[in-house]
Amino acid sequence: DMRFSFIGDVCGRCVVKPHESREHVRSVKIDRILTGRYTAIPAFLVIMGLVFWLTFGVIGAALQGLMEDGIAAIIASADAGLKAFGTNDVVRSLAVDGVLTGVGSVLTFLPIIVVLFLFLSILEDSGYMARVAFVMDKVLRRFGLSGRSFVPMLVGFGCTVPAIMSTRTLPSEHDRKMTVMLTPFMSCSAKLPVYGLLCGAFFPQATVPAMVSLYLIGIAVGCIAALVLNRTAFKGDPVPFIMELPNYRLPSVKTTVMLAWDKAKDFITKAFTIIFAATVVIWFLQTFDIRFNVVADQSQSLLAGLGSIIAPVLTPLGFGDWRASTALVTGLIAKESVISTLTVLLGATSPAALSTMFSPFTAYVFLVFTLLYPPCVAAIGAVKSELGARYAVAVFAFQVTVAWIVAFVVHSAGMLLGLA
C-alpha cells in the first residue's frame, strides 16, 4: 500500500493526463448498451438476427436466386449444345448432370458467403466483434473455450466452410482445434430444406417446434462434446483472454471488401476442387452398375449397392432402408442432395411417398442423424486445409460416431415410450 501510495502521489504531481477523446466518450456510451450486464446478449441477438435476415432472407437470397437462374441457363444451354452436337449420352450426362450441376450447386452459395462476410467484416472493422468475444468469454470458458471461439460457431449456423476458415484468427492452437471439432455440430443453412421437407410431411401441425428442437439438440450436443474433448483429447484450459477494446469507428470500405474477397477466394479455390471431384464420383456411382453398364433403374447402380452395405449400420436407428442410407451418402456432397436423391428413388417427396420409408418417429430420428453427421465434403476439405488430413479424418469419424450414438439414444427412448 505504501509503494502504490508513493506511485500515486508522484503520478499526481508529475503526470499530465490528456483530455478524453470524443471517440472514447462515444464508445463508452455505446458500450453501456452493447456490453451492459443485462443488455449485451439481447443487443447481440438483435444485431446478428438482422445480419442473418439480410444475408439469408433479403440480399444474399436475392443474389443467390439470380446466380441459380444464371447457372440453370448455362446448364440448359450446354445440354442443348451437346445434344445438337450429337454427343454420346453418357458423356453428356457426365458434363451436365455431373460436372456442371455439381459445381453449379456450390457456386450458388457464393453470393451468400460474400454477403455474410461483408457484414461480419463491417462488424469486425467497427470494433463490435471484440465486444462479442468479451461478452461470450465467461460462458464459453466453462466448456473449455475462449470468447473468440463464439464467432466461428455463430457463422456455422450459416455455412460450416467459412466458419472453419474463420478459426484461423484464433491465437491458441487449443482453442482453434476445439472450435474446428465443434463447429460442424451447429446446424448449417443447407440442412433447412431437409428439415422443412420431413417436418412438413410428418409434423404438419408442429413444424416449427420440430425444427427448433433440432437446433437445440445440435447446440446441446456441441456443449457435451466440448466438455468431453476438454477432458480427453484437448486437456487444459483456454488461453487467458486479455484484449483491448478499440473505440468504435466507421468501417473502412477497402478493408471490408478485402476481407470479404479473401474469404470468397478461399471458398472458391479450396471447396470448388473438392466438390468437383466428389460430384464426378457420385455421378459415376449413380450411372453404372458393378459391370460398368449404364443402369436404367437406380436400384441397380453402384450407389445403391453402397447404400445396401451401409444400411445394416443404420438399422438400429430405425431407418435401415438402402434408399435412406443412399440419401445420407449423397448428402455428404451437399445436404440438398438428400432431397434430390429421395425424389429420384421414391419418384416423389409427397407425404404418401415418404411414408413408405419412414414413420413420423423414424423420420425424426433420421433428421437427428442428418443434423449431426458431417455437413458436406467441402466442410471436411476446409478442415483438411486448416489443420491437415489427420484432423479431417478425426472430425469425420467423430461426427459420424456422435450422430449414430445420439440417434440411437433418441430411437431407444422412443421405443421405451412407445413412439416407434
Is 197 a domain residue?
no
Q: 272 is in which domain, residue-wise? A: 263-417
**Is position 316 within any domain?**
yes
User: Looking at residue 330, what is its pLDDT?
Assistant: 78
Q: How confident is the model at residue 3 (pLDDT cuts 50, 70, 90)?
A: very high
Cα–Cα distance between 31 and 248 in angstroms, integer? 9
> Which amino acid is residue 270, in one-letter code?
K
Is there a domain that residue 217 lies in?
Answer: no
The predicted pLDDT at position 404 comes to 92
Which tens digit of pLDDT belongs to each residue from 318-341? 887 778 888 888 788 777 677 767
pLDDT band at 5 (very low <50, low <70, confident <90, very high): very high
Where does 288-347 have alpha helices with state H? 302-314, 322-330, 336-346
pLDDT of residue 311: 84
Q: What is the pLDDT of residue 207?
A: 75
Give the mean pLDDT of 164-177: 77
Contact 321, 353 (CB under 8 A): no
Q: Identify whether 5 is part of a domain.
A: no
Predicted confidence (pLDDT) at residue 141 exceeds the cutoff of 60: yes
Rounded to an integer, the average pLDDT of 142-168 is 77
Q: What is the mean pLDDT of the segment spanning 23-35?
A: 83
Q: Which residue has the higher pLDDT, 281 or 238?
A: 281
How far apart CA 420 and CA 403 sit, in angstroms, is 19
Mean pLDDT within 357-371: 88
Span 157-168, average pLDDT: 79
Q: Is residue 328 part of a domain?
A: yes
Q: Confirm whether 127 is domain-assigned.
A: no
At 288, is the secondary structure helix, strand, or coil? Answer: strand
Structure-derived torsion over alpha carbons of residues 142, 146, 149, 153, reported in degrees to the nearest 10: 10
Contact (Cβ atoms closer than 8 angstroms) between residue 376 and residue 160: yes
Contacts 24+ apart (CB under 8 A), 31-38: 31/131, 31/245, 34/128, 34/131, 35/131, 35/134, 35/135
Residue 7, pLDDT above cutoff 90 = yes
Range with top average pLDDT, 41-45, 52-56, 151-155: 41-45
pLDDT at 405: 93
Q: How far apart are CA 326 and CA 339, in angstroms?
A: 11
Indicate whether 369 belongs to any domain.
yes
Return d(Cα 238, Cα 243) in angstroms, integer. Answer: 14
Q: Domain total for the chain?
A: 1
Please, where are the H alpha helices in 108-182?
110-126, 128-141, 150-155, 160-165, 173-182
Note the pLDDT of residue 211: 78
* Mean pLDDT, residues 173-187: 82
Residue 258: pLDDT above 60? yes
pLDDT at 106: 64
Question: Distance (Å, rounded) from C-alpha 377 to C-alpha 95?
Answer: 20
C-alpha closest to that of 78 among 57, 91, 92, 61: 92
Task: Give mean pLDDT, residues 136-163.
Answer: 76
pLDDT tens string 90-136: 788 778 776 777 677 667 767 877 887 788 788 878 888 778 777 77
- DSSP letter for 159, please: -
* Helix (H/G/I), strand (E/B), else coil: 294: strand
Closest to 113 measured CA to CA, from 167, 155, 71: 155
Contact 252, 122 (CB under 8 A): no
Residues 75, 108: Cα–Cα separation, whole Å: 13
Whether 134 maps to a domain, the answer reads no
pLDDT (0 to 100) of residue 9: 92
pTM over 0.75? The answer is no
